[in-house]
Amino acid sequence: MSKPERTLENLKGGAEILDTLREEFAQWLGEANEEGQREAYENVLGHVDAMVREYAQRLQEAEAQLEAPPGAFGA
């Protein structure tokens, strides 16, 4: 497996984990009873959402690099 392929697979795995975390935190947010709990879960969920977006961008870049002809992105 080439380095770009490994990178792509690692990013896919990370994205899956983040999706799972996002679902769990969203559920916990819905179950939170106290304002402090809700605020904490909202903050964590916002951070996880930002990470999900970052991983999506990295996945797109890795897929584009994998599909590009050799040398298209430089060394």
Rounded CA gap, 61 and 54, in Å? Answer: 11
How far from 15 is each of 2, 56, 60, CA to CA, in Å?
20, 7, 12
What pLDDT sits at residue 74? Answer: 54
- Split the chain (75 residues) into runs of 10 and give each run's mean pLDDT: 91 96 95 95 96 95 83 56
pLDDT of residue 75: 47
Please answer whether residues 62 and 14 qualify as being in contact, where contact means their C-beta atoms are separated by less than 8 angstroms. Answer: no
